[in-house]
Amino acid sequence: MKAIIQRVSKASVTINNKKVADIKNGLLVLLGIVNEDTSDDISWLSKKICNLRIFNDDQGVMNTSIINNKGDIIIVSQFTLHASTKKGNRPSYIKAAKPDIAIPLYEAFIKQVETDLNKKVQTGQFGADMKVELLNDGPVTIIIDSKNKE
């Protein structure tokens, strides 16, 4: 499971000209899933994201998490995170999990983040053509791959 986490001042997701997610202070999480991902990846990645100390404390030092900050999260599925660009100029997405595997893992990840965060998160829609807008705060962008946890 691979995630790109961006600290945002605001972010939104629009599908078919309808805004389906909209937050102010928080995180935008782009999530890519592969066939080998398991519930262990979900649990580990959720805890890592929710506890990342990437928000400023009272002294202006990145020392607090989204939990302490009481910010919001948008989670968006993005199979292109697992693109292979080794050959040619057209990316291959063969590593990305197909929907029958990815959707249940994506939904389980959302539930796990809600549990770890102790609040509802907003999402995009799996497989939809989405327009994602964000104002990256910092900028702060972190890439985490659950396969590199050890």
Q: pLDDT (tens digit, 0 to 9) for every residue of the chain, 150 residues total?
A: 999 999 999 999 999 999 999 999 999 999 999 999 999 999 999 999 999 999 999 999 999 999 999 999 999 999 999 999 999 999 999 999 999 999 999 999 999 999 999 999 999 999 999 999 999 999 999 999 999 987
Domains in the chain: how many in total?
A: 1
Kindly report the CATH number assigned to the domain that includes residue 131: 3.50.80.10
Domain housing 128: 2-148
Helices (H) and strands (E) in the chain, counts: 3, 8
Integer Cα distance of 113 and 143 in angstroms: 17
Nearest to 149 by CA among 52, 41, 54: 41
Active-site choice (80, 85, 123, 141): 80
d(CA 21, CA 38): 26
Q: Is 80 one of the annotated active-site residues of the chain?
A: yes
* CA contacts within 13 A on the Cβ side of 110: 17
